[in-house]
Each structure stands twice: as structure tokens, then as C-alpha cells.
Amino acid sequence: MALERTFAIIKPDAVAAGHAGAIIAAIEKSGLSIRGLKRVRLSGDLCKGFYHEHVAKGFYQELEDFMTEGPVVMMCLEGEGAIAKWRDLMGATNPANAAEGTLRKQYGTNIGRNATHGSDAPGSAAFEVSYFFSAFELV
């Protein structure tokens, strides 16, 4: 396995519910390293650029309304096989289908409000990390 970086978001539902600390603790326990972290609120334009592959889809407006409704915590995570490892910790997109013990099972509500984001491949991870973090913020 290769040393990878991936991009993670604790989404507005989980931040508002006070689950950011528990999710960060789960990341630390997993062995993934947090290389960058910030708490911000997305604009619609930032959301459209970030989710460019979903902008034309029927659920996009719902996704944007949700992702901009309150602050998020975003992170760059690093480790061996970090992309798959973080996806495994999150669980399936729809919390109803997510495995027991995963973050989306524990903290998600439905397919739209699913508590966390994670990059799905090396290309999207590189794009997403650089979309939100400068080199100065990754330490």
C-alpha cells in the first residue's frame, strides 16, 4: 500500500449535533494522521466547484442547501491506503446501508444528511485537498 492523502469533511449535520469531536477521535484512533484541519462555512459557489461531478444531478440543489446550512470541519488525512481507509471508516453513502460501527451508521440520518465526506480515488483526493487547502496549511 502507498502513503496517500485524502480529503474529509465533517458535514453540517454532524457539526451541529456536536459529533465533530467523536469523529476526530475515531480518525486519530484509526491511525490516520491529520495533516490539515479547519472549520469553515461553504458558499454555494464553493460547493458547486467541489461537487462539480454532481452539479447536473437531480439531488444537487438539496446537496448544496445541506452543505451550506452551517459550518463544516474539513481535513486532509494521510496514511497507508488513506483513501480506502477513510471510506471504510465512513461506511456506505446511505447510512441505512452502512455497516455497524461506521461513522455514517452512527451519525448519519439519511442519504442526503450522511455526516461525512471522503474522496473516492487518488485523482479526486488530489483535487479536493488542493481545492480547500494551501501547502502552508498542510503540516
Q: Is the dihedral of CA 73, 108, 125, 77 positive or negative?
A: positive
Nearest residue to 78 (alpha-carbon basis) of 133, 11, 16, 22: 133
Q: Is 52 one of the binding residues for ligand DAT (CB under 6 A)?
A: no
The Cα 136–Cα 25 span in angstroms is: 24
- Within 10 angstroms of residue 99's Cβ, the number of other Cβ atoms is 10
Nearest residue to 3 (alpha-carbon basis) of 118, 83, 75: 83
Whether 19 sits among the annotated catalytic residues: the reply is: no
Question: Shortest gap between Cβ of 117 and ligand DAT (angstroms)?
Answer: 6
Q: Is 114 one of the binding residues for ligand DAT (CB under 6 A)?
A: yes
Site string for Mg ion, 73-112 (x = CB under 5 A): ----------------------------------------
Q: Give how many residues touch ligand DAT by CB under 6 A.
A: 10
> In this chain, which stretch among 33-41, 70-78, 110-118, 129-137 interacts with ligand DAT, using CB under 6 A?
110-118
Q: What are φ and ψ of residue 76, in 5° steps?
A: -105, 120
Query: Which residues are identified as catalytic?
Result: 117
Which positions lie near ligand DAT, rule CB under 6 A?
54, 59, 62-63, 93, 111-112, 114, 117, 120
